[in-house]
Amino acid sequence: MIEIKNLCVKIEGKEILKGINLTVNKGEVHAIMGPNGSGKSTLAQVLAGRSEYEITKGEVIYEGINLLELSPEDRARAGIFLAFQYPIEIPGVSNVNLLKTAVNEIRKYRGEEEYDAIEFLTMIKKKMGVVEMNDSLLNRSVNEGFSGGEKKRNEIFQMAALDPKLAILDETDSGLDIDALRVVAGGVNKLKTPDNAVILVTHYQRLLDYIVPDFVHVLYKGRIVKSGTKELALELEERGYDWVKDECPVGA
Amino acid sequence: MNELTETKNWYLANFEAFENSLNGQKGEPFHQLRKAAIESFAAQNFPTTKDEEWRNTNIAPILKHNFVLPTSSPELKKEDLNSFLIEGFEADQLVFVNGRFSKELSSEYAVPKGAVIGSLAEELKTNPALLEKYFSKLAKPESGIFTALSAAFTEDGIFIYIPDGKVIEKPLYILNITSAGKEKVIVNPRNIIIAGQNSQVKIIERYVSLDEAVYFTNPVTEIVCGKDSIVEHIKLQDESLNAFHISTTEAELGAGSNFSSYNISTGSALCRNTIKVKFIAEGAECTLNGLYLADGLQLLDNHTTIDHAVPNCESRELYKGALNGKSRAVFNGKVIVRKGAQKTNAFQQNKTILLSDEALIDTKPQLEIFADDVKCSHGATIGQLDEDSLFYLRSRGIGAKEARTILIYAFANDVVKTIKIDSIKKYLEKLLAARLMK
Ligand SMILES: Nc1ncnc2c1ncn2[C@@H]1O[C@H](COP(=O)(O)OP(=O)(O)OP(=O)(O)O)[C@@H](O)[C@H]1O
Ligand SMILES: [Mg+2]
């Protein structure tokens, strides 16, 4: 589904990603872990099309096309969804209006007919059920005044509504209480099909108890220094990152 | 002779012809007020950018033209107004074409006993005494050359007199249409709104164009808010980009009264709105909110003055604008708290977003406080659209252009949504969305 090859990224002259290689196939769940500041969100944002980052080397092939050439909106329309680590508050724009515009833009792009008001609301109600979203959040301004947990839940609700092929969840588990974590993770699992894929960025093994990854990668100082299966996450939980850092190639 | 005096002489020369067109009215007492105004006009000069109040607004593009009073009104049918009518709108509609009241185009409306709602020209014929009592009392000819010009050439406008205790439920929609054709006309709508004690009235004063002609609108509106009255005044200027618009609104607030002004400008090549509010007795409140949206080469200027002349009054002011292209805007908000005006609350905010590198705003909040027990604040911000918000919307599949529109709408709607009349708020929100989609 997506193939990231030797991706190098700079911001403000500083090299953040130093040759990322990662392939994610349909139906897979990949977890990316790694210490603070190692470049996980940078990778996520670059995949979503944030233009502040300068791509100095490498390529990203998504469903056979050069992803890096697409605008952020076209990436979303082509099926990429990023759940932000820090969802943005947008005063004056209602959650439901954002979704309505987004859903219809995506449908238009896919050659599907736009939803009318009733079809849209029916769909939305269903998706709200998936993440047990509170009705009252729907008509409020996007993320404005939402609690940390509500923001994260709202991201997954948006994901449910937009029905992406590749979902990148950047620390969606941080800030969720135990019950919310279960609900949100359950939502992600319900949306999982053999045709889509998920990249999970997380610090905690706990999330991986709910959403079981096929692969776990450790990102450290802009490189993937170790990859493994879900057992790797358990090991990291126990031993921390020091031992992986030690295994890290010279010069990192 | 320079352009300033030439233009002045042009209007002076036209006054005589205007007088003669008034038939029998020349000898009436009201006409003496016009004559006094033309003298005041003669004694003043058109401002240049050397005048402090006009420092950022050069009116040379207006003075370049020799505008004439409209010699005729186009024959309009109700259908011609369709795009300006408000669907399912619960309002009484009063239509003026080229500055003159059109009974045919206006809706039929009931006027409560003792009240007057209608054409100033009509009132002049039937009850000039009432008019004379209020005309030019707040917006005095000597306060500015455009006000003097308006008073001298006063023909028509809206005259609203609400007696004590009367509540006018339906908003009054005053639609001023200019359709000048080839004539370069000046229209001087003169509006007077008198709200008696405990009365309530809601007015929408709108200026639109039917064609792309070059013309000049010079409206003056005087508003008296009686004791404990509630007055809402929405002014919407969405004229053609070839029009010039210089308006003056002056309001006087009696004890315990509540005055709200919503001043929305999106049209015209050059627009200057002067709004002056004076508290004359305690316990009154006023809201002055405004929105300016400009593009291309437009210049939109808002000068507001709130005069806390007495204690215990509260004013809140929020002006927001979004500027694109090479457009410019001016915001000058003066708040005066006079000596002895204790317990004054005055809050003022001006926020502008610049959507292009070449757009420009001159903003100047001016707080002049001569009392010590007051709560006052003001602030002005100038910024761009938030990049993080734009990216967030785009990452959801919303196109760049649409994402910008959504954010500008949200920013601008902050002003529109403060309008309390629901039907009008919804209508203006639609207009705003349509304007931003262009
Ligand atoms: N706009 C920016 N300007 C300068 N440095 C930046 C910018 N964005 C990111 N960085 C730097 O890049 C590095 C990687 O940041 P990133 O947010 O990708 O880390 P992360 O792995 O997601 O960390 P965390 O686990 O704390 O979320 C950090 O050192 C960060 O300070
Ligand atoms: Mg991060």
Q: Measure in Å the smallest separation between the Cα of B406 and chain A Cα atoms.
A: 7
Mind giving me the DSSP string for A169-229? EESTTTT--HHHHHHHHHHHHHH--TT-EEEEE-S-HHHHHHS--SEEEEEETTEEEEEE-
The span from the first CA to the last CA of chain A, in angstroms, equals 29
- Helix, strand, or coil here: B248? strand
Q: Give the residues surrounding ligand 1 with Cβ less than 6 Å away.
A: A 11-12, 14, 16, 34, 36-42, 85
- Could you list the pLDDT tens digit for every one of the 252 residues in chain A? 999 999 999 999 999 999 999 999 999 999 999 999 999 999 999 999 999 999 999 999 999 999 999 999 999 999 999 999 999 999 999 999 999 999 999 999 999 999 999 999 999 999 999 888 888 899 999 999 999 999 999 999 999 999 999 999 999 999 899 998 999 899 899 999 999 999 999 998 889 989 999 999 999 999 999 899 988 888 888 888 888 776 655 444
Residue B363 reports pLDDT greater than 50: yes
Instruction: Note whether B20 contacts A: Cβ–Cβ < 8 A.
Output: no
Give the pLDDT of residue B89: 61
pLDDT tens for B44-67 read 999 999 999 999 999 999 999 999
Give the pLDDT of residue A250: 46
Q: Measure in Å the smallest separation between the Cα of B352 and chain A Cα atoms.
A: 16
Residue A178: burial class (beta carbons within 10 Å; 0-12, 13-18, 19+): exposed
Task: Report whether B355 contacts B323 (CB < 8 A).
Answer: yes
User: Among all chains, which residue has been given the structure tokens 């005259």?
Assistant: B159
Q: Which one of B390, B392, B405 would you mutate to disrupt binding with A, by most A Cβ within 10 Å of its Cβ?
A: B392
Enumerate the residues of chain B whose CB falls inside 8 A of the CB of residue A142: 392
- Kindly state the tokens that stand for B262: 């919503």
Give the pLDDT of residue B91: 85
Give the pLDDT of residue A237: 83
C-alpha pair distances (Å), B222 with each of A36, B115, B141, B149: 64, 17, 12, 15
What residues form DSSP beta bridges with A50?
none
Instruction: Note whether B393 contacts A: Cβ–Cβ < 8 A.
Output: yes
> Beta strand pairing status for B158-162 and B190-195?
parallel
Q: Which whole number is the average pLDDT over B80-109? A: 88
Give the pLDDT of residue A252: 40
Give the pLDDT of residue A251: 43
Residue B27 reports pLDDT greater than 90: no
Q: Measure in Å the smallest separation between the Cα of A118 and chain B Cα atoms.
A: 21
Q: Which one of B393, B394, B396 would you mutate to disrupt binding with A, by most A Cβ within 10 Å of its Cβ?
A: B396
Question: Which ligand places an atom closest to the C-alpha of A14?
Answer: 1
Q: Measure in Å the smallest separation between the Cα of A167 and chain B Cα atoms.
A: 12
- Helix, strand, or coil here: B340? coil
pLDDT tens for B181-208 read 788 999 999 999 999 999 999 999 999 9
Closest listed residue to residue B131, CA positions, set B243, B240, B42, B32: B32
Give the pLDDT of residue B382: 97
Distance CA A147, CA A176 (A): 10
Give the pLDDT of residue A249: 56
Task: Report whether B214 contacts B186 (CB < 8 A).
Answer: no
Question: Which ligand places an atom closest to the C-alpha of A241?
Answer: 1
Of A76, A91, A92, the CB nearest to B397: A76
Residue B268 reports pLDDT greater than 80: yes
- C-alpha torsion sign, points B271, B2, B143, B30: negative
Angle at B225 between CA B221 and CA B228, to 5 degrees: 160
Distance CA B117, CA B318 (A): 30
Distance CA B424, CA B235 (A): 12
Give the pLDDT of residue B156: 96
pTM of the model: 0.92
Q: Which of residues 333-392 of B touch A (CB under 8 A)?
A: 387-389, 391-392
Return the residue of B nearest to A95 by Cα.
Answer: B393
Give the pLDDT of residue A158: 95
Enumerate the residues of chain A whose CB falls inside 8 A of the CB of residue B408: none
Task: Provide φ and ψ at B254, rounded to 5°.
Answer: -80, 180
Give the pLDDT of residue A130: 87
Give the pLDDT of residue A17: 95
Of B389, B395, B398, the CB nearest to A49: B395
Question: Which ligand places an atom closest to the C-alpha of A170?
Answer: 2
pLDDT over 70, % of chain B: 99
Name residue B193's amino acid: I
Instruction: Note whether B135 contacts A: Cβ–Cβ < 8 A.
Output: no
What kind and span of H or E run contains A154? helix A148-162
Name residue B377's amino acid: S
- Helix, strand, or coil here: B372? coil
| Complex-level ipTM | 0.95
Angle at B141 between CA B138 and CA B147, to 5 degrees: 90
Segments of B165-284 assigned E as strands: 172-178, 186-187, 190-195, 200-209, 216-217, 220-225, 230-237, 244-253, 258-265, 270-279
Distance CA A66, CA A68 (A): 6
Cα of B362 vs centre of ligand 1, distance in Å, is 37
Enumerate the residues of chain A whose CB falls inside 8 A of the CB of residue B437: none
Closest listed residue to residue A205, CA positions, set A237, A180, A179, A173: A237
Ligand 1 nearest atom to the CA of residue A35, by list position? 25
Instruction: Note whether B394 contacts A: Cβ–Cβ < 8 A.
Output: yes
Atom 17 of ligand 1 has which residue's CA nearest to it? A41
Domain borders along chain B are 3-281, 386-438
Q: Which of residues 123-152 of A touch B (CB under 8 A)?
A: 141-142
